Amino acid sequence: MTPYSSRYASQQEISKFKIPKEGAPADAVFQMLKDELDLDGRPNLNLASFVGTYMEREAEALMVENLSKNMSDADEYPAMMVSIISHLWGVQKGETAIGSATTGSSEAIHLGGLAMKRRWQEKRDAEGKDKTKPNIIMGSNAQVALEKFARYFEVEARILDVSEKSKYRLDPELVKKNIDENTIGVFVIMGSTYTGHYEPVEEISKILDEYEEKTGNDIPIHVDAASGGFIAPFTHAHAGGPKWNFALPRVKSINTSGHKFGLVYAGVGWIIWRDESYLPRHLIFELHYLGGTEESYTLNFSRPGAQIIAQYYNLIHLGFDGFRAIMENCLSNARLLSKSLEATGWYTCVSDIHRKNKDGFNEENETSADYIAGLPVVAFRLSDAFKKDYSHVKQESISTLLRVKQYIIPNYPLPPKEEKTEILRVVVRESMSLDLLDRLITDIIAVTEQLMNADPMDLSAFQPGATTIEKQHQSKGVDHVNKHKAHRPMSKGVHLSEMVE
C-alpha cells in the first residue's frame, strides 16, 4: 500500500549474486534498477565520450520498432550504406567497394587488420618467403582496439612514440625508419582520441610510395576514421585540403563508428575496402541456412539491426548539407570553448582546431576551413603561469569538482614519452548547445577559482597523492607547497563572448 507497493522496498533485498529461487514483481525490479541507474552520469554531460547521446524522436521510434531485428538475417540496409559511405569517402571509378556493418570501430579495425595480414601472407607464400614475423605500424596515441588487433592476431605492434613536435600523433619520420618487408600495413588515425588531431595520411602515403619504388614492397594504409569518418567529408576544412581517403591509392580500407559522429546510439560501425580485391575471398563465409544466401565477414553473427536502420535514417534525412551544418556547429563551439579557456590565462589548449591556418578572413563568416583541421575536441591543461602561481592546485581536482556538477571531463596523461603532461578533454558533440557551452565555461571558471582561493592545507586532504606532473617536479626537487597568492576573482557575470574578446 505504498508507492513502491512491494516488500522489496524495505523488508527484503533483491538478489544480486545468485538467481533467486522465486522471481520478483515487475514493478519492484523496474523501480530498483531505475533507482540504481539514477546514480550513473547523465549521458549528455558525459563530455569524455565520443558516442552520440541524442537522436530525433522519429529515429528513436524506428529503433524501438526494430529492437527485435537481428542483422544476421540478410537485409538491404548495410549494402545501401556501404555504397553511400564508399562514395562519401572517394571510391574511384572502376572500383567495386565492399564492406561490412559492425558493432563498432573496434570490430571493424580487427577485420581491416586481419585482411591486411592475410593479403601479406598470400604474397609472401607466392614469393616463397618467410611469413612468421608480421608487424604493423601505429602511433602510441592509438586507441586500444588497434593494439588488441596486434595481440589477438599475433602481429608485432610497432608502436611509435609521439611528441609535441609531431602534434602528439604518428610521426612520418619514425614511420620511414620502422617499416620493412614484414610490415603488413600502417594504421593511420583520422582523429586522435587524445587531442583530436588528424594524422597526416597523405604524407605517410608518399613515404610508402617512395619505399615501394626503392624496395618493391607494397605497404597498405588502413585509416582508422572512428570519429573523423563522419566529420572530414562534410567540413569545409577538407574541401581541397590534404587527402586522407580513397583518393589516395595507398589507402585500401577505412573504418568509422556510426555511433560517434554518425549520430546513432551505440552499437554500429562500418568498414569499407576500396575494392573487393583487397578483401581476401577466403575470409568471407557464405550462409545458406537463413532462407537465402548471405555473405558474411564479421567477428559477430547476431547483432542489433535497429542501429543500422537508424544510420540509414540519418543519412537520408539529414543529407550532405544537414551533416555539414551539424559538424560545422560542433567545430565552431569547440573553437569557442578553446578560445574562452585560453582567454582566462589559466589554461593552455593542446588541441589546435582553434588556431588559424591563414590570416585576413572575416571571423563573422568563418568556417572550419579557416582553422587547423581536426575533431571537435578540446584538450587543455593548466598553463605554466598558473602552475607557478598556484602550485597547490592539482589538475585532477578540476575534473573531480566538475564531476560534482555532473560533468564528466577526464584528466589523464598524454601517451608514453609525453606522459609528464596531463590533459583535460572535452568532446563537443551535436548535443552541446551554445547555452550548455556557456554554462560549462562558467562552471569551469567557478571551479578553478574555488581551488585557487582554497587554503593549501585544506586542499591537501582533498588532493591526496601526487599527480604525474608533480612526480616529475618532485624528482627535480621542486617545492610544491608555495605560498598561496592573492587573487582577485573574475566577475561571475562575465559572458563568454566578452572573455574571448
Distance between CA 31 and CA 37 in Å, rounded?
Answer: 10
- 33: Cα separation from own chain's centroid: 29
Integer Cα distance of 37 and 162 in angstroms? 39
Q: Is 237 exposed, middle or buried (0-12, 13-18, 19+ CB in 10 A)?
A: buried
CA neighbor of 220 nearest in space, from 178, 268, 273, 159: 273
Residue length, the chain? 501
Per-residue pLDDT tens digits of the chain, which is 501 residues long: 556 656 666 667 777 788 988 888 788 788 888 888 888 889 999 999 999 999 999 999 999 999 988 877 655 667 888 899 999 999 999 999 999 999 999 999 999 999 999 999 999 999 999 999 999 999 999 999 999 999 999 999 999 999 999 999 999 999 999 999 999 999 999 999 999 999 999 999 999 999 999 999 999 999 999 999 999 999 998 776 789 999 999 999 999 999 999 999 999 999 999 999 999 999 988 776 656 667 788 888 888 889 999 999 999 999 999 999 999 999 999 999 999 999 999 999 999 999 998 776 677 789 999 999 999 999 999 999 999 999 999 999 999 999 999 999 999 999 999 999 999 999 999 999 999 999 999 999 999 999 999 887 777 777 765 554 445 445 444 443 333 333 334 444 444 444 444
Positive or negative CA dihedral for 448, 452, 457, 460? positive
Structure pTM?
Answer: 0.89
| Nearest CA-CA partner of 248 in 257, 258, 238 | 238
Q: How far is CA 468 from the centre of its chain?
A: 23
Q: Which of 392, 404, 357 is nearest to 198 (CA)?
A: 357
Angle CA 406–412–417, to nearest 5: 170
Cell of 184: 603488413
